[in-house]
Amino acid sequence: MARIILIDSDESHAKTVASALARRDHQLTVYANARDLFRRLSDEHIQFTVVILNFSNRPEDWDSLDKLRKLTLMCVPRPGILCLSRSKWGTDVRLQVERKGARLVYE
């Protein structure tokens, strides 16, 4: 069982992802945006295995990814970052995401 954080502003999409992860008995916490997660992390220490970010290639997504990368660098063991996208952004965007230490997966 993994402890997973899902950052997804699309409530319908978040429910779909949450349902799929629940069937595999993963422990999931959903945040509508990264700001809520960072606010909570500043108040308390939360341990997690994976962070899933609903990624739309917007400036705020890149900002969230940068902050998540910095956050996970301080964690032991180091959690993985997975960016989910419903749009195919091409190899340049995938490479940029991977250079930030995350994986981009197309749905």
CATH number where 26 lies: 3.40.50.2300
Q: What are the φ and ψ backbone dihedral angles of 50, each rounded to 5 degrees?
A: -140, 145
Instruction: State pTM to two decimals.
Output: 0.91
Cα dihedral 46/51/56/60 (nearest 10): 30
List, for residues 20-32, the tens digit of each pLDDT value. Answer: 998 998 999 999 9
pLDDT single digits (tens) 31-43:
999 998 888 876 6
Count of domains observed in the chain: 1
* Alpha helices for 1-107 (secondary structure H): 11-22, 34-43, 59-73, 91-99
Q: pLDDT tens-digit profile of 8-19?
A: 999 999 999 999
Q: Over range 51-62, report the average pLDDT.
A: 95
Expressed as residue numbers, the domain containing 57 is 3-106
